[in-house]
A and B are shown apart, each in its own frame.
Chain A
Amino acid sequence: MRADEGDGADAGASPTEPDRPTLARAVDLPLEGRDAPSSWGRRLLIGAVLLWFAALILIPGLALARQAFAGGARPLIAALAEPGVQRAFAMSLGITLVATLVNTVFGIAMALVLVRQRFFGRSLVDGVVDMPFAVSPIVAGLMLIVLYGPDSAIGGWLESRGFQVAYALPGMILATMFVTVPFVVRELVPILREMGEEYEQAAHTLGAGRWRTFRSVTLPSIRWGVAYGVTLTVARCLGEFGAVLVVSGNVIGRTQTATLYIAEGIESFHPEGAYAASLVLAASSFLLLVGMDLLRARLERTREVEP
């Protein structure tokens, strides 16, 4: 129903975060104000949009599934049971775990600093946080090679101590961390800004210390935002390819992640394992997407409850 009166309809033009050129987030579609597709022009437009969506997103996904199941389920399972595949997935998960943990802690801290503190150069830092979004994964990998490669000052020093960064696991972790730096921060900054400082100040007046306030006031209010940011981070970590490729040196079996395994499998013309692994990754990204969707609904709800 159309709202009849406008009393207070103008309310709450809250000082929201200016739209940043970063991640867009899915939008809940309300039921109001929609038009039924009546005219032929509308139907044509809807048909075109759906066709485009199907050709670009939906059918390629189904084609992959068909390809992976080309010989039935048994070869698929066999391909996944290979030690190479399992090692690659274990590697991906390990890297994801470390990078997500570190960047979640950093992300919460950075978002708090950006929203709750005033300091010189704050808007510059705000921009720097987004930079990994603007960097090609290949270029990101190259940066780490330049900095930590065996012929660089830091890399040479570390290597003389017997610690290899580039072309080894630490480099791959660093590369993954680099590309996922912004996710949690970007998710939390608008939420913290919207939340305002009053809850925290109320806790302070009630005698709660900083840590106590953070644990029992701030963190519970931003937990769904954190979860959303973590989900995005995990998805990107699992899928990262270019940056990891450059720093890995791609020694078969030893420094191979799932995505590297897929690329190698396709290129070496024995693609069954690659298709199987692709399907697993696609399925997990689909699950992550479902998770994001649920979390988003959660986020919107908490926002409504706390005006």
Chain B
Amino acid sequence: MAVVPATLARRAMQPAAALRGASLAYLGVMVVVPMLAMTWQAVEPGPRAFWAAVSEPYAWHALKLTFVTAFIMVLVGAVTGTATAWVLVRYEFPGRNLVNALIDLPFAVPTVVTGVMLVALYGPESVVGAIAGKAGWKVIYDQPGIILALLFVTYPFVIRSVQPVLLSLDRAEEEAAATLGAGPFTTFLRVTLPTLWPSILTGSALSFSRALGEYGSVVMVAGNQPLLTKTAPIYVFGEIESGNRHGALAVSAVLLASSLLILVVLNALQRRGEVRDAS
């Protein structure tokens, strides 16, 4: 019995261990316990009930909509993001520094405010929205609005991921291709793009993960009609409000698992890439 206080005393005397203990405890209480608690409650009723909650038509549609819009957003964002990074790094033009500084704005602007902005510009009562409406396009309060909002909130990811790679890229590789007879387009396709792929993929994966969970901006622009514009996070919130705890938990678990999976795979890919590029 006398051993225990002695070890405790020694432990307490080690500031390093104390610091570690305190940080890990905070992280555990703040992050790990809530995640485990939620996961546990989501799977506790058994796989059949879980599947029933997820495959319920409203839930299923919400999940499908979330993944499809996120996917479309990633396709657009990868191209525009790479192009933006390229233009910012390689070309000189007026306003370049301003644009570069404002790239991060979506990280700083509250998501709700993002939604309000987009409605103010593209909503049915605005000039742009009215013109688009006459042409038969509905952007806000429809699925394109969701993609627009996702594009806004994920705007910096691909750019900020590709930019440093482009900057540190050895121009000599492109020059080597040129001396070997390759024209600018061939050089970009065969030499530059393969080097950029990992960073484009990283930015895209982060965008996708972020898009799966996006709520604030989407809820403002989507219109939230079930089976049309209700994304999974909106669905989860609705189910919480209406007291369907289990439905909310099941869909949440799917979202959480997908996001984590993306990040884990991404991490593994990067680690592998480092092994190959280690030189």
| Chain A residues within 8 Å of B, Cβ to Cβ | 18-27, 29-30, 33-37, 42, 45-46, 48-50, 52-53, 56-61, 63-64, 66-67, 106, 109-110, 112-113, 117, 119, 125, 127-147, 152, 174, 177-178, 181, 210, 232, 235, 238-242, 245-246, 258-259, 262-263, 266, 274-275, 278, 281-282, 285-286, 288-290, 292-293
Contacts and interface: CB of A to CB of B under 8 A. Distances in A.
A129 B27 contact: yes
A106 B233 contact: no
A292 B104 contact: yes
22 contacts: A24-B156, A29-B89, A46-B91, A57-B152, A63-B117, A64-B117, A109-B22, A113-B20, A117-B20, A134-B260, A136-B212, A138-B215, A140-B34, A143-B34, A147-B33, A147-B34, A147-B38, A152-B37, A174-B30, A239-B109, A285-B108, A286-B105
Contacts of B112: 239, 241, 259, 262-263, 278
B274 A35 contact: no
6 cross-chain pairs, A with B, having the tightest CB-CB distances, nearest first: A136-B213, A239-B110, A24-B160, A63-B121, A143-B34, A60-B117
Point out which of A27, A45, A66, A127 has the most chain B C-beta atoms below 10 A from its C-beta. Answer: A27
Contacts of A19: 161, 199, 202, 270
A130 to B, nearest CB: 7
B113 A262 contact: yes
A119 B16 CA distance: 11
A140 B212 CA distance: 13
B113 A282 contact: yes
B176 interface: no
B151 interface: yes
B171 interface: yes
Contact of A45 (B32, B38, B83, B214): B83
Contacts of B92: 34-37
B96 interface: yes
Contacts of B182: none
Contacts of B220: 263, 266
Contacts of A241: 110-112, 215-216
B11 interface: no
B255 interface: yes
A53 B100 contact: no
B186 interface: no
Contacts, number: 292
A27 B4 CA distance: 53
A67 B115 CA distance: 13
B164 A33 contact: no
B266 A144 contact: no
Nearest to A111: B23
B34 A178 contact: yes
Contacts of B148: 56
A226 B107 CA distance: 18
A117 to B, nearest CB: 6
Nearest to A282: B113
Given A50-B99, A142-B248, A239-B110, A136 B152 contact: no
Given A113-B20, A134-B256, A139 B108 contact: no
A60 B252 CA distance: 31
Interface in B185-240: 199, 202-203, 205-206, 209-210, 212-216, 219-220, 232-234, 236-237, 240
Given A63-B117, A239-B109, A48 B83 contact: yes
Nearest to B241: A246
A22 B206 CA distance: 7
A49 B80 contact: yes
Interface in B8-42: 15-16, 19-20, 22-24, 26-27, 30-35, 37-38, 41
B13 to A, nearest CB: 12
Contact of A128 (B32, B160, B202, B248): B32
Contacts of A33: 90, 171
A263 B219 contact: yes
Given A127-B263, A142-B240, A143-B38, 4 more contacts: A109-B23, A136-B212, A136-B252, A289-B102
B19 A109 contact: yes
B99 A136 contact: no
